[in-house]
């Protein structure tokens, strides 16, 4: 939000009108969605390819994850390096159903021609052999117990990341692990999870991951061009709703409390707020958002494997939010969209190589270096990120403060540390 | 004996020597012996040759060894006309032949009259084992040792007596011990006397040698059998126990034709399919057979009509198993020997477990020293200065690549490692100073920002390494004197490279302690970290100190990189393999205390090896559980091991 | 006299150094108390123990009519129980407006879900306005706290303390960095507050303490050296020795 501090008068105007930036964002998102629909192959004139629509849809999901990251880091000051793990878990949860249901259709079809009608056990064995053949197993691991049920797996999209975040957060916040320690701890959690999933006997096909997720069970007749637009809509809707909810959360007293926690958590304790409960709430809530974003992302990506959960993914999430501008919801969205699309452009080999005469810079190789260095540069020189530029553009320059320079951009800096 | 041989040789010389071509003694004892077996020798078949070789080996003739050796080397021929055997080598288009009894040259002859004996590899093997007894008494200890090795590899019953005969004359104590040990092993395997075998078996109680277990294990092979009564020398087994489940017992009955086979779901399905008549099977609609119960019912109908074997129910199984006795028989040895072997094996097993624990501890220590090496640089930059450097892992990588590059220029491995260590230090020291000047200096007291900025550096450095050195692993070769391992016994061994890493870790610890506690730099570092303002007012330049300290920590990471590169592969991603564990090590140990880092590394290393021990096939799982454990540990001891100890001590 | 807070036999050790040594202290429900003592006497640690920041090794801290132990409660629970604290250096949330700062402190439900649903009502805005007037910041409500002067931040923090409406106020050097007029105002506010609740003021400035006109507790080396009126304690030999040295 551009200026959350203007909760001046107790006006009861509708929420969106009180915060014009939310309205602007939603309008831009709606226009964007409409434009893509018109230009896409599914329902429109086919000016942009299905794969590009998918890329854009995926980007919207990443924006949603970045929104969650901004809430937990930019607003509450918890630099979590584990939120892409929740994103991945959401993807796995929906992927299990997609894979199960589609394989079930295939297996039933293939068994239909056999002499005897298949028993339930035979169908189940057939599905298991199909799915787990690559890891040399032919039985369903216990975690697939509810894979046959879409509602239950959808519940898992929300519940599994939520519960994991709840347990992890409870342990971490309870023992007052903060700052970089918490970051390292969340990174360790992510690493542990991805290492676990890399095992063949993890029950999720080891490093093969889940694949064929772009094919919706029973909708083989619907072309991918249409499916991609449907998912694009769903992603846009999720992002819009997520933005609205996040904006609502940070606009009121709750937002005030979490920003206070970010800036001086012990002071908040002495005001009688249970800092741990707030952190846990935000951590869990954002984990759930990430789970949902992941559940929308991976059917568009088509495949999920443990590498997606590796710690580096969560670091990139932090990079996006930092580049976009912390402590501003639109900053997170801009950062995620800008960097991930740029990334796709550069690593997709579309960017022209630069010839220096003695050496040719191939962006496929050099993009990561450029990204890493520009990230350093942003941290050093433009801690407000792209959002900061927008602030300047909108002439909403932050007032010249006399006190210590606290706030989202210097999230971890506390006055007492500065004085030490 | 010797005298008579001399005399015989003399006689032979007198007969043959006067240049009589073709003339050859046909009545030398060895020639006679060979002639007695001429047919099988010429036929050259592994199956029939045995007696011929045995006869030669046990003849006691002094020439026997030479004959066997030449035969084995395919240098023995025989005369097609006379059937006499000679040694021969090709020469001048013909064949130079020698007498087999004394090796005297007979002359060059036409090849056509002679035929070469070409023992196949099977026969050569038999000859080799027959030769062993001669070699056991060979004057050259090396040959005796080789003979023992040959027996160890492939023992024959005949070796036992040969070995027994060769012990008394053995002067070399080591060889004598080996012979004794081998004799006992062969006794266990081949002796007919049960008492001798038992004594030999018992003598190996607690012995850790792989050879002992290899000898004893076949003795305890056993089979579970079934019949109406339990014969003597067999151990009764109760069906339905862990040793033999009801199912296994029944399968055994089926195998022995004592009970009808179980009808499994697959058989039911096939039988039903083969009996489909229109849309029905045994009067049941095919479409309704989509449940196991329905299929069984239909099958039962078929069985009732005699069209299929009857189903076997659980009751049938229980009843059938009830009727018979199950017992274990030892197939390779009489019962007492087998039981004794089992007892000794069990005893050895305990010893093995103990030694494996010792081995595990060594493994854990060496892993701990690797973690310590990786973490000690962090203990300086993070522990002492409070700077969180996520590019630390990349400094390790840089050090390793520096080592690799140095090896490209200096082929001598020892020299290259000696050069690489200071080079790695300088390179990473420089990189560290650069990083501190350009990035970290601006972010002091903003740990999260530092963390993120150094992440950026880490990503860039990793990709840069990939661009320069490619994605495949580069070798950093250890000098030859670091190859191999120190073997304590057949179970406990540790490679020299791990010992070197352990020593290096200790050196680093000492270096750290000396620098921090005994030098001006250390004093200033401690002053600056405790109170920078006070320090600067005392004339210390905190900027310079921070820069040097960070460089020092980074440089140590570089040296660690060389050491780790020797032990693992050098890749652009090797840094990220260690970074989380390194931070864990520092945090678990207690930030700001080198002894804590040491304890942390020991704990992390021990933990990982310990978990691997429970699930040896899966190092990924071990890492997962280790990280989970550390996460939990940090929850409960956020200040780490040392902080905990300090408080407890003062409370 | 009924007691609001009873501290008895409390000791705490930091790395071998006894910061608080068998300290005993009592205060009634509507009482003003000044705590003085030389540097290192344990004044701040004493406050840390009451507010739950530091857990003592020994002793009891009992609170209120029901004599609940504060030792098993967290900082936020203690604050909710009715103990407010003002730090020596003003710690306000500089990135937020004065209004938000006061609104944060205002006595309302503190749970995350309750706060999420919370929308400030008429009475809340009225209270904030009243408090702002009392601390002289009525014209600065929409300014960020970071923009305020040091003195204004002190005021804001006092305002936040009052907004919490605690039964016990722990005030650490409230007058530091204030002009004489501001000090007087501060005294007035504290004296007024002490009519309905307990106030503990830690202060170095004897003039300020004298103006508070209340019972004084002198701390030295972690225990109570003397207690009574200011005149009484300033005439105490031991106190003179501690303050003036031998």
Report the distance separating Cα B563 and Cα B556, nearest Å.
11
Mean per-residue pLDDT, B93-98:
78
Residues B493 and B545 in one domain: yes
Residue in C closest to A267 by C-alpha: C91
Boundary residue ending a domain (B126, B149, B180): B126
Mean per-residue pLDDT, B367-390:
84
Residue B199 lies inside a defined structural domain of this protein: yes
Q: Are the beta carbons of C104 and A257 separated by less than 8 Å?
A: yes
**With 80 as the cut, is the pLDDT of residue B24 above it?**
no
Residue B336 lies inside a defined structural domain of this protein: no
Tokens 């900053």: give the residue.
Answer: A331
What is the band of A93 on the pLDDT scale with cuts at 50, 70, 90? very high
Residue B347 lies inside a defined structural domain of this protein: no
Q: Token pair for residue B647?
A: 């408080």
B487 has a chain A CB within 8 A of its CB: no
pLDDT value at position A405?
42
* H-helix or E-strand spanning residue B223: strand B222-227
From A256, A267, A281, residue closest to C91, measured CB to CB: A267
pLDDT value at position B9?
55
- Chain B residues 595-634 with a CB less than 8 Å from chain A: 618, 620-621, 623-624, 627-628, 630-632, 634
B447 has a chain A CB within 8 A of its CB: yes
Q: Are the beta carbons of C57 and B650 separated by less than 8 Å?
A: no
Interstrand relation of B105-109 and B94-99 (parallel, antiparallel or unpaired): antiparallel
Write the CB contacts of A149 (distance below 8 Å, at least 6 apart in sequence): A97
Residues B122 and B246 in one domain: no
Mean per-residue pLDDT, B210-219:
82
Q: Are the beta carbons of A375 and B442 separated by less than 8 Å?
A: no
What is the band of B25 on the pLDDT scale with cuts at 50, 70, 90? low
Q: Are the beta carbons of B634 and A120 separated by less than 8 Å?
A: no
From C85, C96, C119, residue closest to A256, measured CB to CB: C96
Residues of C in contact with B646 (CB under 8 A): 15
Percent of residues, chain A, with pLDDT higher than 90 = 38
Residues B146 and B81 in one domain: no
Q: Show which subunits contact C, needing at least 3 CB pairs below 8 angstroms.
A: A, B
- CA-to-CA separations, B362 to A325, B202, B206, B602, in angstroms, rounded: 50, 30, 21, 11
Residue A8 has a CB neighbour count (10 Å cut-off) of 11
Residue B340 lies inside a defined structural domain of this protein: no
Q: Which residues of chain C have pLDDT under 50?
A: 246
What's C5-244's CATH class? alpha beta
Q: Are the beta carbons of B448 and A79 separated by less than 8 Å?
A: yes
Residues B174 and B300 in one domain: no
pLDDT value at position A94?
94
Structural domain boundaries in chain A: 15-311
What is the band of B643 on the pLDDT scale with cuts at 50, 70, 90? low
A183 has a chain B CB within 8 A of its CB: yes
B648 has a chain C CB within 8 A of its CB: no
Residues of C in contact with A281 (CB under 8 A): 112-113
Residues B113 and B141 in one domain: no
Which tens digit of pLDDT belongs to each residue from B473-509? 888 888 888 777 777 777 777 888 888 888 888 888 8
Residues B524 and B609 in one domain: yes
From A270, A272, A399, residue closest to C147, measured CB to CB: A399
Residues B446 and B540 in one domain: yes
Q: Are the beta carbons of A368 and B446 separated by less than 8 Å?
A: no
Asked if B545 contacts B519 with a C-beta cutoff of 8 angstroms, the reply is: no
Q: Which of A130-134, B120-124, C52-56 has the lowest mean pLDDT?
A: B120-124
CATH no. for residue B467?
1.10.3470
How many structural domains is chain B composed of? 4
Mean per-residue pLDDT, B588-598:
82
Could you give phi then psi for residue B141, rounded to 5 degrees? -60, -30
A192 has a chain B CB within 8 A of its CB: yes
Residues B302 and B375 in one domain: no
Residue B312 lies inside a defined structural domain of this protein: yes
Mean per-residue pLDDT, B338-367:
85
Report the distance separating Cα B425 and Cα B419, nearest Å.
10
Handedness of CA A163, A167, A173, A177 (dihedral sign): negative
Mean per-residue pLDDT, B432-449:
87
pLDDT value at position B16?
46
Calculate how close chain B gets to C181, using CA atoms only, in Å.
35
What is the band of A155 on the pLDDT scale with cuts at 50, 70, 90? very high
Report the distance separating Cα A228 and Cα B177, nearest Å.
79
Structural domain boundaries in chain C: 5-244
pLDDT value at position B19?
42
Q: Long-range contacts for B420-426 (Cβ within 8 Å, ≥24 apart)?
A: B420/B562, B421/B559, B421/B562, B424/B398, B424/B399, B424/B400, B424/B555, B424/B558, B424/B559, B424/B561, B424/B562, B425/B399, B425/B555, B425/B556, B425/B558, B425/B559, B426/B555, B426/B558
pLDDT value at position A337?
93
Boundary residue ending a domain (B206, B221, B236): B221
Residues shown for chain C: 246
Residue B419 lies inside a defined structural domain of this protein: yes
Mean per-residue pLDDT, B16-42:
65
Chosen from B393, B624, B633 to mutate, greatest number of chain A CBs within 10 A: B624
Chosen from A4, A10, A383, A403 to mutate, greatest number of chain C CBs within 10 A: A403
Q: Token pair for residue A112?
A: 């239909």
pLDDT value at position B305?
83
Residues B230 and B210 in one domain: no
Find the domain containing B326 and state its range. 223-330
């Amino acid at each position: 939000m551009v200026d959350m501090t203007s909760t001046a008068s107790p006006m009861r105007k509708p929420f969106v009108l009180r915060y014009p930036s939310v309205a602007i964002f939603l309008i831009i998102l709606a226009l964007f969605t409409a434009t893509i629909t018109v230009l896409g192959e599914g329902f429109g004139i086919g000016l942009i390819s299905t794969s590009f629509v998918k890329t854009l849809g995926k980007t919207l999901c990443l924006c949603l994850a970045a929104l969650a990251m901004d809430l937990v880091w930019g607003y509450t000051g918890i630099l979590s390096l584990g939120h892409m793990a929740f994103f991945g878990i959401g993807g796995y949860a929906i992927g299990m159903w997609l894979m199960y249901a589609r394989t079930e259709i295939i297996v039933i079809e293939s068994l239909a021609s056999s002499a005897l009608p298949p028993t339930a056990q035979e169908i189940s064995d057939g599905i298991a052999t199909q799915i787990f053949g690559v890891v040399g197993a032919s039985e369903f691991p216990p975690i697939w117990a509810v894979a046959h049920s879409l509602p239950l797996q959808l519940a898992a999209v929300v519940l599994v990341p939520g519960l994991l975040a709840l347990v992890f957060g409870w342990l971490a916040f309870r023992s007052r692990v903060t700052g970089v320690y918490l970051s390292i701890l969340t990174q360790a959690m992510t690493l542990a999870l991805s290492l676990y999933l890399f095992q063949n006997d993890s029950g999720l096909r080891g490093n093969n991951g889940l694949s064929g997720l772009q094919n919706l069970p029973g909708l083989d007749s619907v072309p991918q061009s249409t499916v991609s637009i449907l998912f694009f809509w769903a992603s846009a809707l999720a992002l819009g709703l997520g933005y609205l909810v996040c904006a609502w959360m940070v606009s009121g007293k709750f937002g005030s409390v979490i920003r206070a926690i970010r800036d001086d958590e012990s002071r908040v304790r002495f005001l009688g707020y249970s800092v741990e409960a707030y952190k846990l709430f935000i951590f869990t809530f954002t984990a759930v958002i990430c789970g949902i974003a992941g559940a929308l992302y991976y059917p568009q990506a088509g495949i999920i494997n443990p590498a997606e959960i590796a710690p580096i993914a969560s670091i990139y999430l932090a990079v996006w939010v930092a580049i976009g501008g912390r402590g501003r919801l639109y900053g997170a969205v801009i950062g995620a969209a800008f960097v991930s699309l740029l990334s796709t452009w550069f690593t997709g080999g579309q960017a022209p190589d630069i010839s220096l005469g003695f050496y040719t810079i191939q962006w496929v190789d050099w993009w990561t270096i450029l990204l890493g260095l520009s990230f350093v540069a942003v941290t050093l020189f433009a801690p407000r990120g792209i959002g900061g530029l927008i602030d300047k553009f909108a002439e909403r320059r932050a007032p010249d403060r006399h006190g210590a320079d606290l706030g989202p951009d210097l999230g971890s800096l506390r006055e007492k540390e500065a004085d030490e | 004996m010797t005298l008579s041989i001399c005399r015989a040789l003399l006689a032979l010389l007198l007969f043959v020597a006067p240049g009589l071509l073709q003339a050859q003694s046909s009545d030398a004892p060895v020639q006679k012996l060979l002639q007695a077996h001429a047919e099988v020798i010429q036929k050259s078949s592994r199956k029939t040759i045995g007696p011929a070789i045995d006869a030669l080996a046990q003849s006691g003739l002094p020439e026997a060894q030479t004959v066997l050796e030449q035969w084995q080397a395919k240098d023995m021929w025989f005369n097609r006309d006379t059937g006499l055997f000679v040694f021969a080598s090709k020469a001048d288009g013909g064949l130079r032949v020698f007498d087999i009894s004394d090796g005297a040259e007979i002359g060059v002859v036409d090849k056509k009259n002679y035929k070469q004996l070409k023992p196949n590899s099977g026969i050569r093997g038999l000859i080799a084992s027959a030769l062993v007894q001669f070699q056991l008494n060979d004057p050259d200890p090396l040959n005796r040792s080789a003979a023992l090795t040959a027996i160890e590899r492939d023992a024959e019953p005949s070796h036992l007596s040969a070995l027994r005969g060769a012990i008394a004359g053995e002067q070399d104590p080591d060889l004598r011990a080996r012979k004794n040990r081998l004799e006992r092993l062969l006794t266990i395997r081949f002796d007919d006397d049960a008492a001798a075998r038992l004594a030999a078996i018992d003598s190996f109680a607690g012995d850790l040698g792989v050879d002992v277990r290899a000898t004893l294990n076949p003795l305890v092979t056993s089979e579970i059998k079934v019949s109406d009564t339990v014969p003597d020398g067999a151990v009764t087994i109760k069906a339905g126990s862990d040793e033999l489940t009801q199912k296994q017992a029944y399968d055994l009955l089926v195998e022995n034709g004592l009970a009808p086979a179980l009808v499994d779901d697959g058989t039911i399905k096939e039988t039903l399919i083969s009996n489909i008549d229109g849309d029905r099977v045994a009067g049941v609609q095919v479409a309704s057979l989509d449940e196991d119960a329905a299929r069984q019912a239909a099958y039962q109908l078929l069985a009732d009509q005699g069209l299929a074997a009857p189903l076997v129910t659980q009751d049938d199984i229980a009843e059938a198993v009830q009727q018979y006795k199950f017992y274990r028989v030892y197939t390779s040895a009489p019962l007492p020997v087998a039981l004794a072997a089992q007892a000794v094996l069990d005893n050895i097993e305990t010893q093995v477990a103990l030694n494996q624990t010792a081995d595990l501890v060594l493994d854990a220590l060496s892993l701990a020293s690797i973690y310590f090496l990786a973490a000690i640089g962090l203990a300086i930059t993070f522990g002492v200065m409070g700077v969180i450097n996520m590019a630390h892992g990349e400094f390790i990588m840089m050090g390793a690549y520096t080592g690799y590059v140095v090896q490209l220029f200096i082929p001598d491995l020892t020299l290259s490692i000696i050069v690489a260590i200071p080079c790695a230090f300088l390179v990473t020291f420089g990189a560290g100073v650069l990083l501190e000047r350009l990035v970290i200096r601006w972010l002091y007291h903003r740990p999260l920002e530092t963390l993120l900025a150094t992440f950026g550096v880490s990503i860039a450095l990793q990709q840069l390494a990939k661009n320069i050195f490619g994605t495949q692993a580069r070798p950093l070769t250890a000098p030859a004197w670091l190859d191999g391992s120190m073997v304590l016994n057949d179970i406990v061994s540790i490679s020299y490279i791990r010992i070197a890493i352990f020593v290096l870790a200790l050196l680093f610890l000492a270096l750290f302690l000396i620098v921090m506690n005994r030098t001006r730099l250390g004093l200033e570092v401690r002053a600056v970290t405790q109170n920078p303002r006070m320090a600067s007012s005392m004339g210390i330049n905190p900027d310079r100190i921070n820069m040097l300290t960070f460089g020092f920590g980074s440089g140590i990471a570089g040296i660690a990189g060389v050491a780790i590169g020797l032990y693992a592969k050098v890749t652009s991603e090797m840094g990220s393999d260690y970074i989380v564990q390194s931070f864990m090590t520092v945090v678990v140990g207690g930030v700001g205390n080198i002894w804590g880092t040491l304890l942390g590394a020991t704990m992390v290393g021990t933990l990982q090896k310990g978990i691997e021990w429970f699930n040896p096939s899966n190092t990924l799982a071990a890492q997962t559980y280790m990280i989970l454990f550390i996460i939990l540990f940090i929850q409960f001891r956020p200040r780490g091991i040392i902080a905990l100890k300090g408080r407890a001590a003062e409370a | 006299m009924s007691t609001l807070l009873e501290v008895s036999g409390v000791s705490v050790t930091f790395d071998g150094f006894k910061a608080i040594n068998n300290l005993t202290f009592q205060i009634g429900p509507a009482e003003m108390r000044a705590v003085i003592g030389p540097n290192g006497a344990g004044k701040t640690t004493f406050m840390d123990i009451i507010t739950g920041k530091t857990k003592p090794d020994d002793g009891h801290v009992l609170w209120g009519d029901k004599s609940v132990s504060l030792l098993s409660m967290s900082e936020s629970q203690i604050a909710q129980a009715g103990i407010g604290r003002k730090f020596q250096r003003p710690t306000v949330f500089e990135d937020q407006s004065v209004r938000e700062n006061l609104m944060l402190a205002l006595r309302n439900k503190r749970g995350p879900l309750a706060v999420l649903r919370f929308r400030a009502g008429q009475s809340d805005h009225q209270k904030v306005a009243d408090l702002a007037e009392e601390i002289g910041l009525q014209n600065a409500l929409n300014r960020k706290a970071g923009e305020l002067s040091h003195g204004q931040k002190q005021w804001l923090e006092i305002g936040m303390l009052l907004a919490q409406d605690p039964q016990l106020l722990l005030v650490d050097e409230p007058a530091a960095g204030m002009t004489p007029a501001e000090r007087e105002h501060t005294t007035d506010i504290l004296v007024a507050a002490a009519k309905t609740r307990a106030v503990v003021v830690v202060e170095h400035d004897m003039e300020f303490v004298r103006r508070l006109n209340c019972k004084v507790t002198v701390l030295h080396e972690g225990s109570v050296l003397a207690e009574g009126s200011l005149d009484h304690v300033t005439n105490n030999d031991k106190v003179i020795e501690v303050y003036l040295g031998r």
